[in-house]
Amino acid sequence: MMLLKVVDLHVEVAGVEVLKGVSLDVREGEIHALMGPNGSGKSTLAYTILGREGYLVKSGDILFEGRSVLGLSTDERARLGIFLALQEPPQIPGLRLSPFLNAIINKRLCRKELNKLPPPQVLAEVGKALQAVGLSRPHLSRELNMGFSGGEKKRSELLQAILLKPKLLILDEPDSGLDADGVKAVARIINSFKQEGKGVLLITHYARLLKHVPPDEVTVLYRGKVAVRGGPEIAERIDSEGYSFLNGSVGKDEH
Amino acid sequence: MNINLKHEIPLTLGEARPVKYEVRLKGELTEELVRELSELKGEPEWMLNLRLRALEWFHKLPMPKWVRGVEELDLSRLVLYSKPKGSLATEWGDVPPEIRRYYEALGIPEQEAKLLSGINATFGSESIYSKLRDSLRSKGVIMMPTEEAVRKYPELVRKYFGRVFPYTDHKFAALHTAFWSGGAFVYVPPNVRIDQPLEALFLIGSPLEGQFEHTLIIAGENSYLNFIEACAAPRYSGESFHDGMVEIYAHRGATVKFTTIQNWSKNVINFGNKRAILEEGARVDWMIGSLGSKVSYEYPMSVMKGAGSSSQAIMVSIAKGPYIKDGGAKMIHAAPNTKSRIVSKSISGDGGLTIYRGLIKVLRRAANSFAHAECDSLILDNSSQSFTYPHNQVDEPTSTVIHEATAGRLGEEQLFYLLSRGLSEAEAKSLAVMGFLDDLLIQLPFEYANILRSVIEVEFSRLGGVG
Strand pairing category for B142-145 and B330-333: unpaired
pLDDT of A253 over the 60 cut = no
- The amino acid present at B111, given as its one-letter code, is Q
- Residue B455 within any structural domain of the chain: no
Does A53 sit within 8 Å of B431, measured CB to CB?
no
Q: Once rounded to an integer, what is the mean pLDDT over residues B24-34?
A: 92
- For A119, phi then psi, to 5°, come to -60, 155
- Residue B148 within any structural domain of the chain: yes
pLDDT of B135 over the 50 cut = yes
- Residue B438 within any structural domain of the chain: no
Q: Is A52 on the interface with B (CB under 8 A)?
A: yes
Tell me which DSSP letter residue B308 carries.
Answer: T
The pLDDT value recorded for residue B336 is 98
Q: Is A147 on the interface with B (CB under 8 A)?
A: no
Provide the angle, in degrees to the nearest 10, between the axes of the packed helices B425-441 and B412-419: 100
pLDDT of B15 over the 90 cut = no
Q: Is A73 on the interface with B (CB under 8 A)?
A: yes
Of the two residues B103 and B340, the one the predictor is more confident about is B340
Using a CB-CB cut-off of 8 Å, the residues of chain B touching A86 are: 417
Q: Is B65 on the interface with A (CB under 8 A)?
A: no
Does B431 sit within 8 Å of A100, measured CB to CB?
yes
Does A94 sit within 8 Å of B432, measured CB to CB?
yes
Tell me which DSSP letter residue A89 carries.
Answer: P
> Tell me: the pLDDT tens digits for B45-87?
999 999 999 999 999 998 887 777 666 778 888 899 999 988 8
The pLDDT value recorded for residue A249 is 59
Using a CB-CB cut-off of 8 Å, the residues of chain A touching B382 are: none
| Percent of chain B predicted with pLDDT > 90 | 65
Using a CB-CB cut-off of 8 Å, the residues of chain B touching A169 are: none
Does B414 sit within 8 Å of A90, measured CB to CB?
yes
ipTM score here?
Answer: 0.95
pLDDT of A220 over the 60 cut = yes
Count up the domains in chain B and report the number. Answer: 1
The pLDDT value recorded for residue A255 is 37
- Residue B286 within any structural domain of the chain: yes
Rounded (5°) CA angle B346-B71-B231: 50
Question: Cβ neighbours of residue A131 under 8 Å, at least 6 residues apart?
Answer: none
Q: Count the residues in chain A.
A: 255
- Residue B252 within any structural domain of the chain: yes
Taking alpha carbons only, the member of A141, A145, A94 closest to residue B436 is A94
Q: Once rounded to an integer, what is the mean pLDDT over residues B10-26?
A: 78
Per-residue burial over A200-213, b if 16 or more Cβ lie within 10 Å, else e, is: bbbbbbebbbbebb
The pLDDT value recorded for residue B463 is 34
Q: Is B404 on the interface with A (CB under 8 A)?
A: no
Contact A133, A162 (CB under 8 A): yes
Q: Residue B20 — very low, low, confident or very high, per pLDDT cuts 50/70/90?
A: confident
Q: Please tell me whether residue B38 adopts helix, strand or coil conformation.
A: helix
Give the helix ranges, DSSP H, for A91-149.
97-108, 120-133
Using a CB-CB cut-off of 8 Å, the residues of chain A touching B416 are: 47, 50, 52-53, 74
A92 vs B412, B425, B432: nearest CB: B432
How many angstroms separate the CA atoms of B2 and A69, rounded?
49
The pLDDT value recorded for residue A248 is 63
Q: Is A89 on the interface with B (CB under 8 A)?
A: yes
- Residue B458 within any structural domain of the chain: no
In the sheet that holds A168-172, the strands lie side by side as A82-85, A168-172, A199-203, A31-35, A217-222, A225-230
Does A114 sit within 8 Å of B432, measured CB to CB?
no
The pLDDT value recorded for residue B12 is 54
What are the angstrom distances between the C-alpha of B263 and each of A65, A252, B325?
Answer: 48, 64, 12
> Tell me: the pLDDT tens digits for B230-265?
888 887 778 889 999 999 999 999 999 999 988 888
The pLDDT value recorded for residue B223 is 98
> Tell me: the pLDDT tens digits for A96-154?
999 999 999 999 999 888 888 888 888 899 999 999 999 999 999 999 998 898 889 99
Q: Residue B27 — very low, low, confident or very high, per pLDDT cuts 50/70/90?
A: confident
- Residue B454 within any structural domain of the chain: no
pLDDT of B11 over the 60 cut = no
The residue range of the domain holding B265 is 9-424
- Residue B429 within any structural domain of the chain: no
Taking alpha carbons only, the member of B386, B390, B403, B269 closest to residue B329 is B390
The pLDDT value recorded for residue B111 is 83
Contact B250, B244 (CB under 8 A): no
Taking alpha carbons only, the member of A106, A143, A111 closest to residue A126 is A106
